[in-house]
Structure 1
Amino acid sequence: MSATGVWVVGTVTDEELRGLLPSAADRAAASPFPPPSAPAGCAAELDWWRGRAGESLFARSTDGHGEWTATEDARRLCAFFDGCRDGAEPVEDLRDAVMERFPPEDEEGLFAAAARKANPFWALAYALGPEATLRLPGWFGDVLLDSAGLRACLPVAEEALTLTGARRRDAIERIHAWMTGLGDAPDHDADALLDGPLRVLRHAARTGRGVAAFTSWY
């Protein structure tokens, strides 16, 4: 795969959201942005990931360079994340429409991460583990919440994303393993990947806005 994975998190006003999703039923259905039904095999693969959550899925070289190599289990987890993404045309159109409404110069209200051959959200999910990832709003990196929904989920998201000490060091190492063992992004900013999304969520809550996030490949 020579594509570049992108994850964008930004704020959106309730008015803009109502313009994109005019009916209350549509907004309620899209609010946490899950697929209409879990992909086939999702439950079994999620159970498998839970069973391996405490283990490293990458092998580190012993030649002194400290490079990471993806194991078959790492590739299996990558395939699981890929299978969780809804790539239907209407969903892709909604992603594009929402991203056009992100404020391009709002440093507090916009976060974007890109990596060659790797999806930044998948790296974050591997670092956080299954339980913390499932506590994040949305569905594996895709989020669409109005201001009320954002305020309701913020405390749980803060708990999942606020890492310190050894937990943060381990998460940064895991992000680096994913970005280099599966991707080709040795210069990624792991700290930004941990801190940037939460900054946007908090900014949205302070300013009375909703939040949207989407993963894409280019």
Structure 2
Amino acid sequence: MGITSAWSISAHDDDFVAALAPRLLPLVAADRDAPGVRERWERWRREPLPDFRTWGEGFGEWGGPGEKALTSFLELTHSGDHVQKLYDGLGPEDDFSLYGDVWDQVDDGDDIFLSVQSKEFALRVFLHAVGPERAALLPGWCGNFLLTSGEVRETLPAVERALGFTARERAEAEDQDWLDYRDDEESVLDGPLRIWRQAAATGRGLCGASVVIY
């Protein structure tokens, strides 16, 4: 049985960010500090994965030379158990949800980057395509973050370094992006930087979340 996942980055004013912070930031921290997570990140940093087309051709297969590294990366880039609660609902005492109380509050389609994928995690593809050195420049943890407008402006130079490519670098990253895009859908290599720049220019904060929809 497959899954459908989403990675979103949405722009909001600072009042909204301040109200969301007590709900989201502890969940991001809990996923970051969960047992084994840091070790998986460090393993990926030390052992970046090769061309994704080799993963099913011996590299990542049972007993293959990259089995443990690939398994570790797949676990790292799966939706975090704690941030997932923001989509599923935080509990019987709190019916706040990512869908109704964050995404539905965005009136302009330009104020959100949203990649919904069947049988895949958009964040996983993004991280593999950009690699660990660039990924380390991004704030938050594994695509999950909440930033005020000031923090968006402060982090923009690092995000531009992470997601700015020469023609050759862009071609290499695109070669490792295996998602199929509709004509009206933003690439995971384009959407994050586009909305970061837009939020910085308009004085907005940003909310990033990677979740399983079903």
Q: State TM-score, norm by structure 2.
A: 0.77
1:12 corresponds in structure 2 to 12
1:126 corresponds in structure 2 to 128
What secondary structure is seen at the aligned counterpart in 2 of 1:115? strand
Residues 108-164 of structure 1 deviation map (CA, whole Å, 9 limit, x = unaligned)? x22111211111111000111122112112211112111111111111011101112
Residues 35-60 of structure 1 deviation map (CA, whole Å, 9 limit, x = unaligned)? 37522112322222122216334328
Match of 1:58 among 32, 53, 68: 53
How large is the RMSD of aligned CA atoms in angstroms? Answer: 3.1
Q: Paired residues, what number?
A: 197
Deviation, structure 1 residue 12: 0.6
Q: Aligned partners of 2:140 and 2:27: how far apart in 1?
A: 4
Structure 1 residue runs of 5 or longer lacking an equivalent are 62-67, 180-185
Q: Is 1:163 matched up with 2:195?
A: no
Deviation, structure 1 residue 71: 2.7
| Distance 1:209-1:79 versus aligned 2 partners, 3 A rule | same
8 A contact 1:5–1:217 mirrored in 2 = yes
Q: Percent identity?
A: 24
What secondary structure is seen at the aligned counterpart in 2 of 1:55? coil
Q: Aligned partners of 2:79 and 2:55: how far apart in 1?
A: 27
8 A contact 1:32–1:144 mirrored in 2 = no
Deviation, structure 1 residue 197: 1.0
Q: Is 1:195 matched up with 2:195?
A: no
Q: Aligned partners of 2:80 and 2:115: how far apart in 1?
A: 19
Matched letter for residue 17 of structure 1: V
Q: Is 1:78 matched up with 2:74?
A: yes
Matched letter for residue 3 of structure 1: I
Q: State TM-score, norm by structure 1.
A: 0.76
8 A contact 1:32–1:137 mirrored in 2 = no
8 A contact 2:49–2:128 mirrored in 1 = no
Q: Is 1:215 matched up with 2:210?
A: yes
Structure 2 residue runs of 5 or longer lacking an equivalent are 62-66, 90-96
2:30 corresponds in structure 1 to 35
| Distance 1:32-1:165 versus aligned 2 partners, 3 A rule | farther
1:65 corresponds in structure 2 to none
Q: Aligned partners of 2:2 and 2:199: how far apart in 1?
A: 34
